[in-house]
Structures are given as C-alpha cells and as structure tokens.
Amino acid sequence: MVIATNKHAYFDYEILETYEAGIELKGFEVKAIKTGRINLAGSYVVIRNDQAWLLNSDIPPYQPKNMPSDYDSKRTRRLLLKKSEIKNLIGRVQEKGLTLVPLKVYTKGKARKIKIEIGLGKSRKKADKRELIKKREVEREIKRMGM
C-alpha cells in the first residue's frame, strides 16, 4: 500500500532506474509513517562511506507530547540496500547529471515493512518540463472530449 509519493520527483527528473530500500527508523517514526505522516518533497539520497542516506525527509511526530525532547523530524536516515546495489549506484551517480531521489514510501508484505522506492534520475530542463505540461493538457482535453 502506497503511503506517500514524491510528485515533484516525477516532474523534475526523468527516472531511469528504480531501487527498493528499507529505511532505518525509530518505533514512533514507524507509527507516524503508517498513519501517512511523511513528506518526501525536497528530500534526496546521497551515498557516503558505502552507505545510502535519506536527507531532508520530514516525519512529524505521531504523538507530539510523547516524543523525546531532542527529536528532529528532518534527521538523516540510513537506507538499507544490498552492497552490490550500493556499488552500482556509486558508479552511476558519478555520471554527469544523475541523482538519486526518493519516489514513494509504501508498506510491503504481511509484516507490513516500510519500504522506500528511490530512483536514479536525470534532471529535466525547463523546455522539457513545458513540453510535459503541454502533453498532459492535450491528453486531458482528449479525455474531456471523449466523455
């Protein structure tokens, strides 16, 4: 079940590959995410010391009065990927213009594990974005006329 999607990522980047990763979370963060309290807008993924990290994703507290006093909702969280995937990503990210962006957060399996889908994306230029908007408007107009 999809909990949150990063709509700006699909608009700002042309996604070339996707990877599924686990997120290292605290218990109260898991509860907050399962209730839909996560914001991926403006977040991104970096690779440091052979580990993937999710930066700038906002997970507001599930129960604000029952939180540790030093809790930072935008803290850096480690992503759990296979070593082979991380090595592949290190090589790909060094290519010109490729970045890692979080695409969606969802639950998976009977244990309802929280997973994140990250995409290897190439940044779109302004002209490409305009072209995409025009294409969507034309498709919307065609649907409207057909109904």
Residue 62 and residue 35 in contact, taking contact as beta carbons nearer than 8 Å: yes
Backbone angles phi, psi at 29, to 5 degrees: -70, -35
Residue 122 has pLDDT above 90, yes or no: no
**115-119, 122-126, 134-138: least confident range:** 122-126
Q: Break the chain into its structural domains and give their ranges.
A: 2-146
Q: Tokens in use for 35?
A: 């209730």
- pLDDT at site 147: 64
User: What is the tens place of the pLDDT at every residue in 41-76?
Assistant: 888 899 999 899 999 888 888 877 777 777 878 888
Give 124 or 139, the one with higher predicted confidence: 139
Region 8-23: mean pLDDT is 88
Confidence band for 32, pLDDT divided at 50, 70 and 90 = confident
How is 94-125 classified by DSSP, letter by letter?
TSTTEEEEEEEEEEETTTTEEEEEEEEEEEPP
The 3-class SS string of 68-100 reads CCCCCCCCCEEEECCHHHHHHHHHHHCCCCEEE
CA dihedral (116, 111, 3, 134) positive or negative: positive
Q: Which residue, among 74, 1, 81, 66, has the nearest Cα to 27 in the 3D structure?
A: 66
Q: What is the mean pLDDT of residues 122-126?
A: 81
Token pair 């890692």 in the structure block, residue: 100
Given a contact cutoff of 8 angstroms between Cβ atoms, the answer to whether 36 and 104 are in contact is no
Residue 115 clears pLDDT 90, i.e. is over it = yes
Among residues 85, 64, 111, 75, the alpha carbon closest in space to that of 20 is found at 85
Q: Which of 144, 141, 132 is nearest to 12 (CA)?
A: 132
CATH 3.30.1490.20 assigned to domain 2-146? The reply is no
